């Protein structure tokens, strides 16, 4: 089970970052390849995401769920994706710290993939999983820095 | 163990007096190739019927998981979707597939769509039938399944341990079957051996990767209440019980048709599950249903070979005589017993390999794992078994300081002992194996290579030479299944053929086989032309199989290299009987004593008076239309139907039996050089000697030899399935499952010997699988290259990573396996 990590420094107050990450509309809008977003409640949303990985192209359905919230410093989330003959489970934890230039965002994600996608193995999948998760937080940074 | 007793030899001996040897052995252009090379064959996907519908599957992403909930509502409501079924819908419509396994494995419940649980990645979970394949695939994506993933078992030996996850809870164990074989006084030989050599080997998982994947068109005719199934199954009549049980229809209502089939290699035996699903859907919709498997579906979930792990001990004398073998083997048969555990008996066709080994013990297990179900891929069960024997021969040679060719020469069964009876009751029909080995060594310049190998090694080059003697046992005796399940009512090995001289004097031939590129239309025509002594161009062999017109038995089909020994024997018998009938008619019409009638060059003549002759087409015209000219009481028409039955017997109480009709043999000599930087072996020289009895058509025999070498080289160096510990198949596409292209296949020198089989009327032997000799020879050569560095290969696949590890280990001064 590969684990990925990353950090972003966002020039916005910690509370603003927190508000962004706990608003399904906003964080959902940062999911790369988003086709549709259906917010269930403040802790749950369902999304349809367009993916294209090598020869595999199609729509992945993502169920997003907040599993733990410690305002305004820690949030744990679970993303359950299914499509293109595969299942992907991402468990991610985000920690927010006050920093000189604003807020430091540290994230850790565990990724489990089953099905056809798993066959792509380390060659593509690690890069893609890393890019997908880090894109969400990069997007968070961009939107908040505007 | 010695020459077979005379009463056995006379039981098996066949009469071949009807042969003229005018058409056998000629390199005639294959009849089917004219259409095939122009892209004019008819494959399942070429069949287009009015009102056709299309089937697609949702497949499991998990290798082992409980199905908690399936929501098909969105898929069902899509425009163009006609039917969405899950396992529960199938369960309502059919009984579980019949299980050939003994209890408790027989309790396993197997449906073509998963019920409650998935057991391998890629297992069909739901199916959609729609107006187009596009709609069907889109609808598949709208099905939601909640799974509860379960721990997977992917290692066969681990599967037998207590506490291992159970693939089938209702079985209570992962053991499919266990058989303890013991032939001869193994204990005595092990007590009296000078040394015992032991090693453990793994025969890896791969597939046949045919050009055409599994496909079916099922078309239910409501008015006639007939189900027509166009398919590419290799042995559709073998699965009659499965089809009939699945569809709840009697055999005369089931019409199964094959046309051209784009390769099988054993992978197209267990596609009956798709035949049943398409047929059930066609019956429901009253419309034809087509399914064409994608390549990824094929590689992931169609059919793999069973992996085999054996610990092999050999009792050996100092002079290199191998006295006895003791083995413990475990077959990894995957998630369902759809064809297996047949492999745990089929190996016994070649129990002691090519050698005068006096005794053999094999403690044999077959297990379920969370992997793709397995079937009989080319060289089925015998190739892995011969691999074990050939590997241990190399290890013994190295231990004794003998050359691998010498130890083989020392132990080979000699021509004076043919037909040879093995300790397990096998009867090797004919051949001169030592002479074959001598000729192959000479053709390959074996001893020259050994000298060059020394010189090149001194220059730091890594060169290996492999030599292997193998058998392509052919025409199986199905009674072998009784070795693991004595109650199974399935024995023998028969095939049917119909030869008809039509009123215009041409000849129509209908076979029970369903060839996949083996050229049956050609070789059957050659046998008929040869027996009747008519022109090859006047013989018309029906393409494919049709259960409404073909002559069949429940063994019918094309598998186990059975057409040359069994199918062509039926053709011979039918043609010979037709010739007798023609002779009877001619005797009357020519007013010639029957014994004096000679049928020759398309005419019948009276030997004593050559003036009295008549063309066969005139006799044919009389036989069908001008019947008042026929002898009084003689039945008109020129139909001849034959079913060939080899004199097979059931295994005795000690599980001794002859399990195949003919035993082709081959010798492969391979030279490889290993690139020290990449670890990739390159084949420098490949020589193959083949003796498949009387050659019916040398073009076809050479094609089979080339194909078997290509397949074997690829298995040894390129093709291997990789599962991770969760049961994910990591290479289900041609991007990373390395089926070879022409570039990967070496130039090869093929030479022949021709020792006719006394056990078939044509003298031909089956040779379509190659016996895995190429795999064994390449691995033998790679290990020979690595041996001075202390490296040994424990597997039938030598990838560059493994080789580099050995090279690096050697560089660090220690050996690794």
Assess if residue B783 is contained within a domain.
yes
Structure tokens, B373: 């179900």
Poorest-pLDDT segment among A79-83, B126-130, B270-274, B745-749: A79-83
Q: Is the pLDDT of residue A54 over 70?
A: no
C-alpha–C-alpha distance, residues A62 and A83, integer Å: 9
Assess if residue B198 is contained within a domain.
no
Assess if residue B197 is contained within a domain.
no
Residues B637 and B539 in one domain: yes
Q: Which of B649, B620, B335, B340 is nearest to B503 (CA)?
A: B620
Q: What is the mean pLDDT of residues B187-207?
A: 98
- Left if phi > 0, otherwise alpha if psi is -120 to 50, otherwise beta: which for B737? beta
| Span B718-759, pLDDT tens digits | 999 999 999 999 899 898 899 999 999 999 999 999 999 999
Q: Which of B440, B430, B488 is nearest to B101 (CA)?
A: B488
Query: Does A82 contact B149 at a Cβ distance shorter than 8 Å?
Result: no
Residues B621 and B528 in one domain: yes
Q: Is the pLDDT of residue B432 over 60?
A: yes
Beta strands B539-541 and B226-231 are: unpaired
pLDDT for residue A51: 80
Domain of residue A46: give its range: 3-145
C-alpha–C-alpha distance, residues A60 and B361, integer Å: 54
Q: Is B813 exposed, middle or buried (0-12, 13-18, 19+ CB in 10 A)?
A: exposed
How much is the mean pLDDT over chain B? 96
Residues B635 and B657 in one domain: no
CATH code assigned at B282: 3.90.1170.50
Query: Does B300 contact A82 at a Cβ distance shorter than 8 Å?
Result: no
Chain B residues lying within 8 Å of A87, measured CB to CB? 61-62, 147
The 3-class SS string of B160-204 reads CCCCCCCCCCCCCCCEEEEEEEEECCHHHHHHCCCEEEEEEEEEC
Assess if residue B28 is contained within a domain.
no
Query: Does B141 contact A58 at a Cβ distance shorter than 8 Å?
Result: yes
Query: Does B732 contact A59 at a Cβ distance shorter than 8 Å?
Result: no
Nearest to A119 among B141, B144, B732 (CB): B732
Answer whether B557's CB lies under 8 Å from B270's CB.
no
Contact A71/B at CB under 8 A: no
State how far the alpha carbon of B199 is from the alpha carbons of B196, B310, B313, B325, B804, in Å. 10, 8, 7, 12, 22
Residue B816 pLDDT class (50, 70, 90 cuts): very low
C-alpha–C-alpha distance, residues B147 and A89, integer Å: 12
Assess if residue B280 is contained within a domain.
yes
| Pairwise pLDDT comparison (B179 vs A136), residue with the higher score | B179
Q: What is the mean pLDDT of residues B208-218?
A: 97
Residue A126 pLDDT class (50, 70, 90 cuts): confident
| Span B29-62, pLDDT tens digits | 999 999 999 999 999 999 999 999 999 999 999 9
Residues B448 and B378 in one domain: yes
Chain A residues lying within 8 Å of B150, measured CB to CB? none
Final residue in a domain of this structure, among B292, B317, B334 = B292
Query: Does A114 contact B296 at a Cβ distance shorter than 8 Å?
Result: no
Please confirm whether the linkage preceding B61 is cis (ω < 30° from 0).
no
Q: What is the mean pLDDT of residues A71-85?
A: 88
Final residue in a domain of this structure, among B292, B321, B338 = B292
pLDDT for residue B790: 86
Domain count of the fold of chain A: 1
Rg (chain A; Cα; Å): 15
Beta strands B254-258 and B226-231 are: parallel
Residues B219 and B260 in one domain: yes
Query: Does B728 contact A114 at a Cβ distance shorter than 8 Å?
Result: yes
Structure tokens, B481: 């299944």
Query: Does A83 contact B141 at a Cβ distance shorter than 8 Å?
Result: yes
Assess if residue B9 is contained within a domain.
no
Domain of residue B591: give its range: 494-644
| Span B253-268, pLDDT tens digits | 999 999 999 999 999 9
Q: What is the mean pLDDT of residues B503-532?
A: 97
Residues B800 and B710 in one domain: yes
| Span B6-18, pLDDT tens digits | 999 999 999 999 9
pLDDT for residue A93: 93
pLDDT for residue A123: 60
The pTM of the full predicted model, rounded to 2 decimals, is 0.93
Q: Where are the alpha helices (DSSP H) in B358-403?
A: 382-400
Final residue in a domain of this structure, among B248, B268, B292 = B292
Residue B480 pLDDT class (50, 70, 90 cuts): very high
C-alpha–C-alpha distance, residues B236 and B367, integer Å: 26
Q: Is the pLDDT of residue B814 over 60?
A: no
The 3-class SS string of B605-628 reads EECCEEEEEEEHHHHHHHHHCCHH
CATH code assigned at B428: 3.30.365.10
Assess if residue B610 is contained within a domain.
yes
Contact B66/A at CB under 8 A: no
Q: Is B518 exposed, middle or buried (0-12, 13-18, 19+ CB in 10 A)?
A: buried
Q: Is B264 exposed, middle or buried (0-12, 13-18, 19+ CB in 10 A)?
A: buried
Residues B471 and B351 in one domain: yes
Q: Which of A1, A55, A84, A118 to mutate to test the interface with B (most CBs of B within 10 A)?
A: A118
Residue A120 pLDDT class (50, 70, 90 cuts): low
CATH code assigned at A136: 3.30.530.20
Q: Is the pLDDT of residue B764 over 50?
A: yes
Q: Which of B672, B647, B673, B669 is nearest to B660 (CA)?
A: B647
Domain count of the fold of chain B: 3
Assess if residue B166 is contained within a domain.
no
Q: Is the pLDDT of residue A140 over 70?
A: yes
Query: Does B61 contact A54 at a Cβ distance shorter than 8 Å?
Result: no
Residues B677 and B782 in one domain: yes
Nearest to A119 among B60, B147, B731 (CB): B731
Nearest to A55 among B729, B731, B733 (CB): B733
Q: Which of A26-35, A75-84, B155-164 has the highest mean pLDDT?
A: B155-164
Answer whether B528's CB lies under 8 Å from B24's CB.
no
| Span B602-638, pLDDT tens digits | 999 999 888 899 999 999 999 999 999 999 999 999 9
């Amino acid at each position: 089970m590969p684990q990925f990590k990353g950090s972003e420094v966002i020039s916005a107050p910690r509370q603003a970052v927190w508000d962004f990450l706990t608003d399904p509309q906003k964080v959902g809008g940062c999911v790369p390849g988003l086709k549709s977003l259906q917010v269930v409640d403040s802790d749950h949303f369902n999304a349809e995401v367009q993916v294209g990985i090598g020869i595999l192209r199609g729509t992945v359905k993502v169920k997003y769920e907040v599993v733990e919230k410690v305002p305004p410093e820690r949030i744990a989330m679970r993303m359950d994706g299914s499509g293109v003959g595969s299942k992907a489970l991402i468990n991610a934890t985000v920690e927010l710290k006050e920093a000189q230039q604003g807020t430091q965002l540290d994230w850790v994600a565990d990724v489990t993939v089953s099905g056809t996608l798993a066959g792509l193995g380390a060659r593509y999948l690690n890069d893609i999983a890393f890019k997908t998760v880090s894109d969400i937080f990069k997007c968070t940074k961009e939107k908040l820095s505007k | 163990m010695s020459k077979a007793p005379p009463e056995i030899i006379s039981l098996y001996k066949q009469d071949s007096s009807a042969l003229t040897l005018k058409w056998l052995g000629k390199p005639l252009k294959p009849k089917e190739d004219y259409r095939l090379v122009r892209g004019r064959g008819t494959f399942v996907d070429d069949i287009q019927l009015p009102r056709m519908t299309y089937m697609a599957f949702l497949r499991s992403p998990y290798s082992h998981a409980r199905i908690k909930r399936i929501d098909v509502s969105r898929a069902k409501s899509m425009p163009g979707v006609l039917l969405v079924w899950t396992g529960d819908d199938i369960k309502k419509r059919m009984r579980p597939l019949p299980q050939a396994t003994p209890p408790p494995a027989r309790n396993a419940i197997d449906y073509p769509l998963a019920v409650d649980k998935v057991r391998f990645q890629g297992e069909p979970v739901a199916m959609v039938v729609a107006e187009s394949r596009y709609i069907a695939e889109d609808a598949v994506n709208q099905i939601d399944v909640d799974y509860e993933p379960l721990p997977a078992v992917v290692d066969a030996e681990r599967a037998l341990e207590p506490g291992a996850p159970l693939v089938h809870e209702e079985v209570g164990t992962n053991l499919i079957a266990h058989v303890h074989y013991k032939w001869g006084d193994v204990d005595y030989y092990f007590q009296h051996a000078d040394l015992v050599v032991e090693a453990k080997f793994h025969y890896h998982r791969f597939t046949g990767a045919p050009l055409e994947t599994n496909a079916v068109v099922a078309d239910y005719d409501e008015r006639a209440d007939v189900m027509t199934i166009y398919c590419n199954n290799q042995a559709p009549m073998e699965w009659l019980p499965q089809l009939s049980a699945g569809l709840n229809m009697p055999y005369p209502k089931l019409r199964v048709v094959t046309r051209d089939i784009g390769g099988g290699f054993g992978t197209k035996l267990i596609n009956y599950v798709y035949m049943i699903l398409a047929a059930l859907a066609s019956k429901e919709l009253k419309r034809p249903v087509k399914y064409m498997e994608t390549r990824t579906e094929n590689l992931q979930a169609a059919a793999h070979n069973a992996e085999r792990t054996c610990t092999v001990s050999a009792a050996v004398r100092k002079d290199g005589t191998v006295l006895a073998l003791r083995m413990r083997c475990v077959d990894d048969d995957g998630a369902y017993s759809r064809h297996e555990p047949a492999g745990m008996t089929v190996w016994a066709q070649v129990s002691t390999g090519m050698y005068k080994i006096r005794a053999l013990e094999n403690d044999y297990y077959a297990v379920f794992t969370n992997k793709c179900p397995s079937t009989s891929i080319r060289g089925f069960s015998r190739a892995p078994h011969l691999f074990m024997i050939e590997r241990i021969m190399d290890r013994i040679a190295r231990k004794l300081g003998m050359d691998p060719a010498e130890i083989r020469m020392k132990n080979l069964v000699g021509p004076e002992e043919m037909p040879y009876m093995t300790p397990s009751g096998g009867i090797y029909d004919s051949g001169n194996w030592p002479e074959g080995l001598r000729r192959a060594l000479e053709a390959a310049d074996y001893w020259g290579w050994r000298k060059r190998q020394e010189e090149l090694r001194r220059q730091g080059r890594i060169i290996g030479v492999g030599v292997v003697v193998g058998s392509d046992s052919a025409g199986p005796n199905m009674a072998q299944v009784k070795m693991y399940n004595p109650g199974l009512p399935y024995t023998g090995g028969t095939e049917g053929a119909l030869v008809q001289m039509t009123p215009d004097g041409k000849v129509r031939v209908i076979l029970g086989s369903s060839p996949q590129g083996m050229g049956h239309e050609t070789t059957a025509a050659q046998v008929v032309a040869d027996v009747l002594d008519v022109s090859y161009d006047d013989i018309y062999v029906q393409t494919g199989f049709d259960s409404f017109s073909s002559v069949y038995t429940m063994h019918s089909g094309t598998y186990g290299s059975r057409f040359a020994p069994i199918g062509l024997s039926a053709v011979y018998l039918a043609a010979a009987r037709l010739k007798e009938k023609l002779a009877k008619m001619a005797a009357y019409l020519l007013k010639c004593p029957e014994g004096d009638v000679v049928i020759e060059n398309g005419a019948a003549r009276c030997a004593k008076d050559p003036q009295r002759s008549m063309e066969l087409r005139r006799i044919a015209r009389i036989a069908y239309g001008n019947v008042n000219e026929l002898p009084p009481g003689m039945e008109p028409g020129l139909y001849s139907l034959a079913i060939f039955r080899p004199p097979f017997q059931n295994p005795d109480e000690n599980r001794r039996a002859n399990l195949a009709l003919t035993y082709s043999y081959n010798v492969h000599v391979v030279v490889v050089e290993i690139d020290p930087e990449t670890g990739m072996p390159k084949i420098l020289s490949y020589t193959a000697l083949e003796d498949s009895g009387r050659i019916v058509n040398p073009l076809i025999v050479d094609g089979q030899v080339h194909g078997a070498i290509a397949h074997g080289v690829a298995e040894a160096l390129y093709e291997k399935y990789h599962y991770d510990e969760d049961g994910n198949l990591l290479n289900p596409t041609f991007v990373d499952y390395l089926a070879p292209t022409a570039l990967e296949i070496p130039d090869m020198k093929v030479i022949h010997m021709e020792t006719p089989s006394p056990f078939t009327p044509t003298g031909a032997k089956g040779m379509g699988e190659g016996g895995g000799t190429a795999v064994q020879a390449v691995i033998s050569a790679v290990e020979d290259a690595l041996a001075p560095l202390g490296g040994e290969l424990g597997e039938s696949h030598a990838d560059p990573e493994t080789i580099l590890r050995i090279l690096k280990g050697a560089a660090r001064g220690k050996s690794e396996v």
